[in-house]
Structure 1
């Protein structure tokens, strides 16, 4: 892994001195990179992953697949057009130990892969990973024929005893705490002897765009998928047994990681350009265009990319974020600086993310003088004059960027453990400083 830059324990969030005017090149999507790695590892032939994100979560995924026998060669693409990873499938094997860190995609997407390996695979990670829900994947795999030792915790650490194959078939799971439970079973399903039929039987399913991303990427490598979006039964997905093709996949920019930079334009009344913003995408971050427009900005897709302009005014918003929960911390930070109250709804599942994001946002914004109240499924934010202070991150990358957003308009905000942004945004502090200097990154 690349070395994480050293930053002070309390990083002084820069105060904006004027309107931002910058072009910011956002690294590749974590969600696309990690799904692409899994699908390439399960393919029948080698494939390429171009412009992958190099961050803690994606490097953990790559290293985990290597421990199972997959070849992943980092270099440049066959035409010399930039960084690319060559993924060479191989027979999956144990014994092996997978370090998931605190990456939801690693801890949830790889147990089904491990069930296809020949031998035991132990999963372990950061202390917080032990608290994150995993029962939907564990129970689903057991119903499909896998043997898993987790001491009945429904959480890490655990061992998947791979038998070289998995029967598959029909399974019911409750994925109301994480859409990744569904994606986890779908990604490996073409390699199951009977494929899979996944039925979600819980309450409202969060983050549906991420499931659509999984389905689209499966189809791109030759899988046959029936889903609710194309006339299938509600909350039912079927994937047939088939060989997967090795593809040449280019990873889109991570649109959710563009959020703090777009927020900077909104807050300062400036302009930020994000190159290579896709015209069509399944990434949840694409909804930032609509949300931040409602909060006072304007945007346009051009040949340069997405051009976003702030008006100098920030408006409150009443919005259901159930499909885009990962955007909540950044939206809450902007809302704390608005000219009217905001209500963020549909995100009760954020209590089970890298940290309890609803409690963390409430505490940290309020300690800077804000007025945030937790609701049953979200936050109510009444803007108040804010002051400087320490903004704790709880080892959560999106908490760190939320604090930086507030720091643009509030002098004296210091971010505790800003290095946690390396989870998805390598060296965010340098990108942030370059944006404020007008040079982009």
Structure 2
């Protein structure tokens, strides 16, 4: 695939240590869960300071298409539950949360809800969710593909009950059923049968949000999650900053020997991005948390690490980029499931880091990275916002890195490029007329 020069963004390399304070947009994971729960709640509520990005706008639009009231309230969203009686079409874009969280809601509709998305989404796994919904009493038409496009034909209610699924490809399979399960006649009792479920903190996030709304949840047994039938209480919820989006900014402290503070970092959170504190410490940074936020200080050295990232797979691209700049070997493992994210992230990282001179060995479930002298060149992103994060991190330490399609970061961070330039102290770069693929 060839990129035009206009698609290639020269990643700025700071000439001195970067010092800055960054305010992040809201969490995508929290925003989209809050929107679903507000749509199913017992009265109107407000989602405060939500992330407004492609993924969350698609979630709001999908719920609205089925009949849910979604209205701007300043910077907030006011959500008014309603009887779901319409036929509707839901655009999933590249949002796994929309593709997986909305179909369980669509079963409560009295209409037929059709789902489709960007071409790549037709390759992302959703068959386990659709099979589970069918076993719980819904009518699913997917042509036997277990993938987009598909439709859900609702009858206004869902029987619910016990379901066995293999959620080893994505924790979203579990969260999808939990979010709507309290509205099913018999609730839902989910049993996982397969390899370990990845990204367990995201399931903990779902459970915490359900409990905050008065839903009875049982997760006492391993590989089992159940919600009792009953109302979902409406609450006005303020969305935390998206901690996973902090990764590239905090990495600047490591790559430049500078100091970066992420404002309003929560003292307690269910977001997997909170694990950045421990990861960056192992990489050689100094990390502290106070009332202002999380501060990371670079020490001038980045050390190799041996990490199991199974529960924090979304951070793998940023961590891998730092490992490519480290002074000793690294091994990142436990993340075979990220091959089915926006792109095959392990193959993409091995290819793009390798193209810039990194010594990367790709494994079935991870990467091994050895120290090497890196050089400039094109860093492709495969329409994946996390790959763009990896590219700008490398560019902060290596001259001449051209990041393809920096705009893909709008999936979870509107104007990421502007925010990045504001922190590194660079002007908006012009397209490089000599950029080559």
TM-score (ref. length: structure 1): 0.95
Q: Which runs of 5+ in 2 are unaligned?
A: 428-437
> What is the CA-CA distance between 1:8 and the residue it aligns to?
3.5
Pairing of 1:51-62 with structure 2 (within 5 A): 51-62=49-60
Q: Which residue of 2 aligns with 1:19?
A: 17
CA shift, 1:438, in A, is 9.1
| Kept in 2: contact 1:21–1:438 (CA 8 A) | no
Q: Name 2:33's counterpart in structure 1.
A: 35
- What CA distance in whole angstroms lies between the structure 2 residues aligned with 1:430 and 1:99? 27
Q: Give the alignment partner of residue 265 of structure 1, picking from 253, 257, 282.
A: 253
The counterpart of 1:184, out of the listed 176, 179, 188, is 176
Displacement of 1:431 in angstroms is 0.5
Which residue of the partner structure matches residue 415 of structure 1? 403
User: Take 1:200 and 1:24, find their aligned partners in 2: how far apart are those partners?
Assistant: 39
1:356 matched residue in structure 2 = 344
Q: Shift of the alpha carbon at 1:211?
A: 0.2
Instruction: Give a deviation string over 1:328-356, Cα, whole Å, max 9, x none.
Output: 00000000000001000100001100000
> Which residue is equivalent to 1:67?
65
Partner of 1:377: 365
Shift of 1:136: 1.3
Distance in 2 of aligned mates of 1:131 and 1:85: 31
Give the whole-Å Cα distance in 2 for the aligned partners of 1:116 and 1:330. 39
Structure 1 unmatched runs, 5+: 1-6, 77-82
| Partner of residue 118, structure 2 | 126
2:277 aligned partner: 289
Shift of 1:129: 0.4
Q: Is the 8 A contact 1:22 1:438 kept in 2?
A: no
For residues 376 and 62 of structure 1, the distance between their equivalents in structure 2, rounded to whole angstroms, comes to 36
Pairs within 5 Å for 1:34-433: 34-76=32-74, 83-227=75-219, 232-433=220-421
Aligned-residue offset at 1:245: 1.1
- TM-score relative to the length of structure 2: 0.96
The runs of at least 4 aligned residues of structure 1 exceeding 3 Å deviation read: none
Q: What are the superposed Cα offsets for residues 186-215 of structure 1, whole Å, 9 maximum, x if unpaired?
A: 000010000000000011110000000000
Name the SS of the counterpart of 2:388 in structure 1: helix
The 1-side partners of 2:343 and 2:228 are apart by 36
CA RMSD of aligned residues (A): 1.1
Alignment deviations for residues 278-315 of structure 1 (CA, whole Å, 9 cap, x no partner): 01111000000000111010111112111111111000
